Amino acid sequence: MDHPGEQKAMEGGCLTHGDFAYLSKCCLLGRSLLPDMWPSKFSADLCHPERHLDALNEVWWLGRFVNARSIAYEPSQNGGKRPDWTFTCGEDLKLSVEIKRRPATTRLHIGQTAQIDIFRDIAEKFDPGATDHLRLACITVYCPINRAFQERCNAWLNENRASVDAILCFSFSAQEHTPFFVAPLHLEPILSKLVLQTLEDEDLGFIGVVQHPLHGVTPTEYAARHEL
């Protein structure tokens, strides 16, 4: 990427850049869902090496919702607290949504759980008194959605039920586990009708070496060198 007086590359620890199929799909979604905002309102993030995939992740999640419309994007400024997205989907369900991408969850592959706060900066974004819409956290992770992960999601949601109604997670590293997870369980029938769970090749187009060993370096040493 060219910047005035300097040159920066879209590269890094394998989780700061993605492939062109994923980029292309997100751009199509942006133009379709956000015609008055894409790409101008996101240009700074799209051109920033550390925020590029975060911006694409936001649009990718919007594209999962069935018939998303009346989309408003109002990111918090100067420490303000409100979810970034509000919109209507399905027949007439109003949502307030906070979207996060957690590349540090790659370390869950090697048992580093205590250091990873998957849910930081989420609960405080929502109004505890809101009753006219569904408050939803959408999180992209890079670890299997196994039983331990599901229990962790449910425990956090129980602690923050006054602020957040539901969590929806997607994993690039699902492997034998489902790529999507909804908590609490009683909302799964509703959200499964509102969120597309059929994946295309473009949806899984990312670059992330998670399990390839480095010669002479243990996984724990590698994770310590690459704090995400």
> For residues 93 and 194, what is the distance between their CA atoms, to the nearest angstrom?
9
Residue 164 class from Cβ within 10 Å (0-12 exposed, 13-18 middle, 19+ buried)? buried
Q: What is the pLDDT of residues 81-129, one digit of tens each?
A: 889 999 999 889 999 999 999 988 887 766 656 568 899 999 999 999 8
Using an 8 Å Cβ cutoff, are 205 and 21 in contact? yes
Q: How many Å separate Cα 217 from the centre of its chain?
A: 29
Helices (H), 51-136: 52-62
Q: For the chain, which residues make up each domain, given as ranges?
A: 9-206+213-225
Tokens of 100: 């996060």
Q: What is the pLDDT of residues 128-174, one digit of tens each?
A: 988 899 999 999 998 888 898 899 999 999 999 999 999 999 998 76
Residue 28 class from Cβ within 10 Å (0-12 exposed, 13-18 middle, 19+ buried)? middle
> For residues 167 and 154, what is the distance between their CA atoms, to the nearest angstrom?
9
Q: What is the mean pLDDT of residues 58-82?
A: 88
H/E segment holding residue 31:
helix 20-33
Using an 8 Å Cβ cutoff, are 180 and 168 in contact? yes
